[in-house]
Structure 1
Amino acid sequence: MRRTGTTRRGALTATGALALGAVLTGCGGGEEAADGGEPAHSGARAAAAKTERTLREKAVRDGALLLARYDLVAEAHPATAASLAPLRAAVREHGKALAPPRAKGAPKADAPPAAPGPVSADPKAAVKELAADERRRADAYAGALLNAGPELARLLASVAAAAAAHAYLLTELAEETAA
């Protein structure tokens, strides 16, 4: 014989549905202006968007400097060029992924700045310097995670991990490189 009336399962289901409905209504798009002007959360969104754009622009600048550094090392020590090419290509792709989206009709970004300082005359030391640059890049991106939104944080974490891997590979390459 089947029981009629309210069961425990039915009561829990109804309570869960009501709670879910209340949560969804509270989180809905009903943003109201505090002073009759813009929505209440628009200032926070604008600040978050500005922070993200700043992080992306700095990451692109740092990547461009690192690319220039790779080019200088490969030019000064042609024996290392073939080994550096895949890492350089990855750094270039990271720069493309981190670049802030451009608005329609916006001008293209300026040319990357020249790499700072000369390259060491010793190929082993030059590759070690690249490894140190990659390590600094990994640390900088890991530090930037605290200020980034979720999507950018995931991207920065991925690029930081890749930069750490590059640092390891460059350190190994430096050990194999003849002075």
Structure 2
Amino acid sequence: MRRTGTTRRGVLAATGALAAGAVLPGCGSDADDTGGARKGSAHGGARTAADGTSSVRTQTALRTSASRTTATLLAGYEHVLRTHPSTAAGLTPLRDAVRAHLTAVSPGKAPALAPARSLATGPAAAVKELAAAERTAADAYTALVLEAPGELARLLASVAAASAAHAYLLTELAKETSA
């Protein structure tokens, strides 16, 4: 009988695909980076400078979007830990990792955490909600990777892979958590 749901093989395949997606956009020639202009030309230099300013705005916007996603996720962890203290052993390490992700992706000061709401009545259901939130966050980070330049793309791919792994771990934890 075939097992359904998330498997280690699926998580590893997704992680590998994300890593490849982060590395491949960095591959290219110098002519591609300057829009086809040669390095020494004045037009190529002006275009590179303009792209640099645009890139800073893009990076800030991407980091802001990622930090909002991460702050929402962190607020969810905080809410579940407050509401269901019995889940602390399994959730605390994951919450700490999400807090580190927030620090890494924030463009400056980390955003304030908004109060989180949960429809879950028991700890297992609350952990399942967190797993779903992690999957949603992984999808959001993956979408941002496509727009991000170099190092930021690698950071976002790493955070997306971590979110996918967290979703798997939370799904397994929900099975073990008593209702």
Instruction: Output the TM-score relative to the length of structure 2.
Output: 0.73
Structure 1 portions without partners, runs of 5+: 1-25, 103-107
- The percentage of aligned residue pairs carrying the same residue is 52
Higher gyration radius (CA) = 1
Query: Could you tell me how far apart the structure 2 residues matched to 1:128 and 1:136 are?
Result: 12
Among 44, 59, 64, the residue aligned to 2:66 = 59
Q: How does 1:1-179 map to 2 (within 5 A)?
A: 26-27=38-39, 30=40, 32=42, 39-100=46-107, 102=108, 108=109, 110-115=111-116, 117-179=117-179
Q: CA deviation at 1:40?
A: 3.2
Indicate the residue corresponding to 1:6 in structure 2: none
User: In 2, are the aligned partners of 1:73 and 1:119 still within 8 Å (CA)?
Assistant: no
Q: CA RMSD in A?
A: 1.9
Q: CA deviation at 1:42?
A: 2.4
More helix by share: 2
Query: Could you tell me how far apart the structure 2 residues matched to 1:81 and 1:150 are?
Result: 36
Residue 119 to residue 77, structure 1, CA distance change in 2 (3 Å): farther
Residue 41 to residue 128, structure 1, CA distance change in 2 (3 Å): same
Amino acid at match of 1:122: G
Query: How many aligned positions are there?
Result: 142
Instruction: Give the 3-state SS of the residue equivalent to 1:113 in structure 2.
Output: coil
Relative contact order higher in (CA < 8 Å, ≥ 6 apart): 2
Could you list the runs of 4 or more consecutive aligned residues of structure 1 that deviate by over 4 angstroms after TM superposition? none
Residue 83 to residue 99, structure 1, CA distance change in 2 (3 Å): same
Instruction: Output the TM-score relative to the length of structure 1.
Output: 0.73
Residue 98 to residue 121, structure 1, CA distance change in 2 (3 Å): same
Structure 2 portions without partners, runs of 5+: 1-37
Residue 111 to residue 93, structure 1, CA distance change in 2 (3 Å): same
User: In 2, are the aligned partners of 1:67 and 1:92 still within 8 Å (CA)?
Assistant: yes
Query: Could you tell me how far apart the structure 2 residues matched to 1:60 and 1:111 are?
Result: 10
